[in-house]
Amino acid sequence: MSEPDALVLAIKRQEERLARDPASLAFAQLADLYRKAGRTQDAITLCREGLARYPQYTTARLIMAKALLAEGRLDEVAAEAATMLANNPKDVQCLRLAAEVERRRGRVDGAAEHLEKVVKLDPADREARALLGLLRADPQADGEAAGLARVLRDDTFATLTFGAACLEQGCLDEAAAVYTRLLRKDPDNSGARDGLEQTLRARSRRKG
């Protein structure tokens, strides 16, 4: 059975389960399946209905926040993350989510602060540690910098054009350094936000 077919079957089974017991917590599992199937609005609606009955059900709130994130509704995701972290400041999944929201908003230092908490709570999280390294990188602070890193000390090269050139050449750390520096100056720089996200996607593809 292919993965899409298995997902459809899982959704059908969970829908039947929820129909038999509409007041159960099974709504969260179904909402997560909807989210994975790309049915984000269905996932959001189902979670909102369930959370009206079980407002402290963090798993459902996290699933809803992920569905909202998939739709790019960052303000709503931020509100949900804040609610969850107010109840449990050490929830690693919520901290990762909050970091992603801040990063997509262009607030790289805010994202890094959340990631610092993640790596303290979960030292084995290599992805969070690597991303934190990219967001905190400062070529100006590295006395042993060489090549492009030395060039990046000069604000003359902190431009969207140079960032795009680095990205095109596969110099991902350098591209990230350019975009994060631009975002520290102006978090609303949409070109820098998009460039950073492209850089992170390219990095993910490289890791395979």
Q: Which amino acid is at 150?
A: R
Looking at residue 139, its pLDDT comes to: 47
Confidence band of 143 (pLDDT split at 50, 70, 90): very low
Say if residue 101 is in the same domain as residue 54.
no
Looking at residue 206, its pLDDT comes to: 85
Residue 52 lies in domain: 1-72
Q: Is pLDDT above 70 for 154? A: no
Is residue 10 situated within a structural domain?
yes
Residue that terminates a domain, selected from 72, 106, 125: 72
Is residue 78 situated within a structural domain?
no
Say if residue 158 is in the same domain as residue 197.
yes
Q: 70, 1, 72: which is closest to 39 by C-alpha?
A: 70
> Residue 30 is part of a domain; what is its CATH number?
1.25.40.10
Read off the pLDDT of each residue in 142-148 and give the average, rounded to a whole number. 48
Looking at residue 4, its pLDDT comes to: 74
- Number of domain units in the chain: 3
Q: Is pLDDT above 80 for 191? A: yes
Distance CA 154, CA 138 (A): 11
Contact between residue 160 and residue 144 where contact means Cβ atoms under 8 Å apart: no
Report CA dihedral (29, 33, 38, 44) to the nearest 10 degrees.
Answer: -10
Q: Which residue has the higher pLDDT, 140 or 86?
A: 86
Query: Percent of the chain, pLDDT > 90?
Result: 78
Q: Which residue has the higher pLDDT, 147 or 20?
A: 20
Give the DSSP letter string of the chain.
--HHHHHHHHHHHHHHHHHH-TTSTHHHHHHHHHHHTT-HHHHHHHHHHHHHH-TT-HHHHHHHHHHHHHTT-HHHHHHHHHHHHHH-TT-HHHHHHHHHHHHHTT-HHHHHHHHHHHHHH-TT-HHHHHHHHHHH--GGG-TT--THHHHTTSGGG-SHHHHHHHHHTT-HHHHHHHHHHHHHH-TT-HHHHHHHHHHHHHHHHHH-
Is residue 19 situated within a structural domain?
yes
Tokens of 112: 């890094």
Looking at residue 151, its pLDDT comes to: 58
Q: Is pLDDT above 50 for 145? A: no
Average pLDDT of every residue of the chain: 90
Say if residue 19 is in the same domain as residue 67.
yes
Q: Is pLDDT above 60 for 155? A: yes
Looking at residue 86, its pLDDT comes to: 93
Is residue 28 situated within a structural domain?
yes
Say if residue 144 is in the same domain as residue 176.
yes
Is residue 82 situated within a structural domain?
no
Is residue 170 situated within a structural domain?
yes
Is residue 182 situated within a structural domain?
yes
Say if residue 146 is in the same domain as residue 188.
yes
Is residue 80 situated within a structural domain?
no
Say if residue 104 is in the same domain as residue 156.
no
Tokens of 38: 């790309």
Say if residue 7 is in the same domain as residue 68.
yes
Q: 16, 17, 21, 41: which is closest to 31 by C-alpha?
A: 41
